[in-house]
Amino acid sequence: MDANNGTQTSSSQTSSSQSDEGKHTAFVYGTLMMPDVFHTVCYGTKDVPDAIKKLHSFKPAVLQGYQRLRVQYADYPGMIENKDHKVVGKLVTGLTKANISKLDYFEGGQYERRAVTVNRTRERVNAKGERKVEYVKVDTEAYVFLNKRDLETKEWDPEEFCRNKLKQWSHS
């Protein structure tokens, strides 16, 4: 019996809903690209056990048709649709429903989680030792900024964020 609505829940419904835990992904392009910030948001501390760290991977990815800009008076970016641009970020894997809920709360009302398709970059080395970059399309979700008027025209710089703000954001 589901306590929330009084309906009967079959064991197959229960097992299928539990089996998708850890199978969600998200494309992140701002502060959440930094594992310390991600862990702080999802687990309350940047210093998570190795077992938790191993649940998630942060793989390079590119989202075509969007642009990442600085949010006015803020340390973080917003991403909006713009067919002439692309956003370089990370594809985070191993997310649970609880992780997604915490990310939704963190992003708040300024963003909307939307389905997107990213190109995950993967570097291969052939038998001759030559490096080749391949792209694999992955369906995922990303947080899109809702109010374009609150964005600056300047691109948000992850390196600048790491140098000047990361310690504050990860409670170091």
Q: Does the residue 5 lie in any domain?
A: no
Q: Does the residue 9 lie in any domain?
A: no
- Angle between helix axes 35-43 and 97-107 (nearest 10 degrees) is 100
In contact, 155 and 30? CB cutoff 8 Å: no
26-57 pLDDT tens trace: 999 999 999 999 999 999 999 999 999 999 99
Residues of the domain holding 89: 22-169
Q: Which residues contact 19 (CB under 8 A, 6 or more apart)?
A: none
Q: Does the residue 10 lie in any domain?
A: no
Determine the Cα–Cα distance for residues 130 and 74; give it in Å rounded to an integer: 42
In contact, 31 and 90? CB cutoff 8 Å: no
Q: Does the residue 1 lie in any domain?
A: no
Closest Cα partner for 113 from 140, 89, 88? 140
pTM of the complete model: 0.81
Count Cβ neighbours within 10 Å for each residue of 79-98 and write b for 16 or more, e otherwise: bbeeeebbbebbbbbbbbee
Q: Angle 114-116-121 (CA atoms, 0-180°, nearest 5)?
A: 140
Low-confidence ranges of the chain (pLDDT < 50): 1-19
pLDDT in the model for residue 3: 39
Q: Does the residue 2 lie in any domain?
A: no
Token pair in block for residue 37:
């910030």
Instruction: List strand residue ranges (DSSP E) for 10-110, in order.
Output: 24-28, 58-71, 77-95
CATH number at residue 77: 3.10.490.10
pLDDT in the model for residue 141: 98
Number of structural domains the chain divides into: 1
pLDDT in the model for residue 20: 61
What is the maximum alpha-carbon separation in the chain?
63
